Amino acid sequence: MNLYNCEKIKFSYTPSSIEELRDALQKKVDLDELNQLNVGIFDFNALFESTDMRIPQIYRSKHGLKALFFPCRTTQGTVMVSNIQDGWYTLCYQLSKLISHGVYLFQLDEGRSADIMNAFFYMEGKESIYKERVVYSMTDPRWKFYQKGDKLWFENEHYYTNRVIRKRMNKEILTEYCGQLNLDIKSDDFWSINGETILFIRAHNRQA
């Protein structure tokens, strides 16, 4: 399943290994019984609840929050995809404080609906030296552009001066930025899942 072809998709990437992610997630399980760590052979069928694969991530899950972690096939590191539309931002934020590398979160939108947002977020480090970068264009309800934090090495700030706000950040620019990170997100290979993966779940309620 090539998620790049979805109308809307949000995913994360970190240069940290899946083994390091597993250790960090285990710490969260040890602290809260609502968290479940499953290691095995999982794919997107174990993740998504929506039957509409054009927009597979839903606003709110009835069965808890889920995130699938799998090794990146086009460069070193790990890819994460969640079952909810915000990409499970809070989990990315928490993990960025536990692992040795930062976390990139990309939101790709083809712009076919009334609510459009193309964005990327970067989170890294501990509270005292925490680094954050945010750039997005969105409808709210009119077009709005926002950026926060220091520019990252792969960004082209020329895009952000475009008089047309929706063109300051779009799917094509995000694809270019991912390419700078060796994330070939247009390819089927990037989204292929082979071997051991992690399915992390946070239940809404404690089991009776």
- Could you tell me the pTM of the whole model? 0.93
- Provide the terminal-to-terminal Cα distance of the chain, rounded to the nearest Å: 36
Does residue 208 lie in a domain region? Answer: no
195 within domain boundaries: yes
87 falls within a domain: yes
166 falls within a domain: yes
Provide the domain limits for residue 39.
3-202
What's the number of domains the chain is made of? 1
Binning pLDDT at 50, 70 and 90, where does residue 208 land?
very low
Contacts of 30 (CB under 8 A, 6+ apart): none
In this prediction, what percent of the chain has a pLDDT beyond 70? 98
pLDDT at 127: 67
Classify residue 36: in a domain, yes or no. yes
CA distance 102 to 142: 32
Length of the chain: 208
- Per-residue pLDDT tens over the stretch 40-82: 999 999 999 888 889 998 888 887 899 999 999 999 999 999 9
Q: How confident is the model at residue 94 (pLDDT cuts 50, 70, 90)?
A: very high
Residues 110 and 167: their CA atoms lie apart, in Å, by: 12
In tens, the pLDDT along 185-203 reads 999 999 999 889 999 999 9
Helices 18-31 + 89-96 axis angle, to 10? 100
